[in-house]
Chains A and B, each alone.
Chain A
């Protein structure tokens, strides 16, 4: 068995989602090859070669592979597929965009968003916003899989010494062109890999009011997230959305502020280790999953919480 893992990277380094996906590949068992597809991405390929447990890195470097253009990356994966029993990608927006295209070209039914592995052809995946877990067995010759990163502890980014093989990329399909990217810049840790997350909901009332969460996030070294209602209302950018149809997070600590706890939101955070909820409605469903809840006005509680954290730090 040999497994191909599609790396998530920014041409310079590999993202943590790659390490979780390699962890899933290790659970399946067999040789692991990592595909780094991009443009001027030799540094990322080198970083991938350091990942613990990786046997080989395939480095495909071409302008048409830049910017995660699905048509071209899928064609590359298909050109390599013959040698593999499994093809894995993290269930990031890039993995979700590219992999089903490759799967269809290989006439394989992809298995989306697996959270555990029962055997080389049998996997567990959440359905219905995580309200049920289905165990599915694939009858396809190549198992094409996206991996929910929160389901697998990352392997070490260092310690490996895989060979890097340069491979050719298929020609540009000419179907899609990259036009531009609006990156939400932030000094904070990345939402899906942060140790702590502070999320605000409709209860925040405005984008301006989200500022009161910043000192809290600073203290906790947290990423910031939001409910769909807060994103739809334009309080914060779309890439902050946590939930069934946003990002799936499972930090050590998740603090939900002014979020009611709709099932679609819970689907994105209920595997966090410790959940804190601050909500003025004591009946809010978020309290059913929260380890610790405070009932009250967030505009009073959040500032005092920040003060308390400061005080505790001084005592230390």
Chain B
């Protein structure tokens, strides 16, 4: 069974992003970039499926600028067998990414696509669902447990009320939640090995996909700051403030 994993290069989750002075976006020059944490989880899941004998090959895909190569090298070091970069400098919105991934999925014919439930930069939480829609495949979002069967997968999903379990027919798209697994660290020998693994670069044009954005970003601003609060000495002082100043109790 072939597994496709989508990985996105994003601003590292530890970075406190700054909005550009001209309001055109956030500062991403000279900022540490990493693989989207949910995509690390997606990759880890694929590697575990392979280690358990349920998957035969893992193909990692990223869409974006040339520097996404780094993210894909990391993916190869974690355990992907091959990497595909769909290289473009164009701004990619989720529908466009889903269309690119669809064309890759049609070429590669995986039984399972695993991706993050959301990217921590744009926080859209769309791409997996869109990919499943465009392929006409089943979807299992926000997964915290995946159990593979021959023609189906049983997936436990984190939902607002607790946990839902569904059974999806393969091929399927699964998106990962935080508690699906704990990704392994990349080791130096594996980074070296990754350099020898196959790496293919494609373009949206070659795939025949129109990636024109549908949303124009008019401006990006910083949210209003909360005004600094105060420290109070003890519980009694706190109750007094909550009652008489904030009037919330």
Contact = CB atoms under 8 A, between A and B. Distances in A.
B166 A178 contact: yes
Contacts of B160: 92-94, 192, 239, 247
A247 B242 CA distance: 25
Nearest to B139: A70
Interface stretch (B58-66, B140-148, B188-196): B140-148
Contacts, number: 264
A181 B165 contact: yes
A9 to B, nearest CB: 12
Interface string B19-35: 10000001000000000
A260 to B, nearest CB: 13
Given A97-B141, A136-B217, A232-B178, A276 B129 contact: no
A43 interface: no
Contacts of B164: 67-68, 178, 180-182
Interface string B92-114: 01110010000000000000000
Interface residues of A, number: 92
Q: Which of B128, B142, B163 has the most CB of A within 10 A?
A: B163
Nearest first, the 7 closest Cβ-Cβ pairs linking A and B are A109-B214, A104-B130, A175-B138, A100-B129, A100-B126, A104-B133, A291-B229
24 contacts: A69-B166, A93-B158, A100-B125, A101-B129, A110-B95, A110-B130, A111-B215, A133-B222, A135-B220, A135-B221, A136-B216, A136-B218, A137-B216, A174-B169, A176-B168, A177-B168, A181-B164, A238-B144, A238-B158, A245-B120, A289-B226, A294-B231, A307-B235, A308-B238
Interface of A: 67-71, 74, 92-94, 96-105, 107-113, 122, 126-140, 173-184, 192, 196, 220, 228, 231-232, 237-239, 244-245, 247, 252-253, 263-264, 270, 273-276, 282, 287-295, 301, 304-305, 307-309, 312
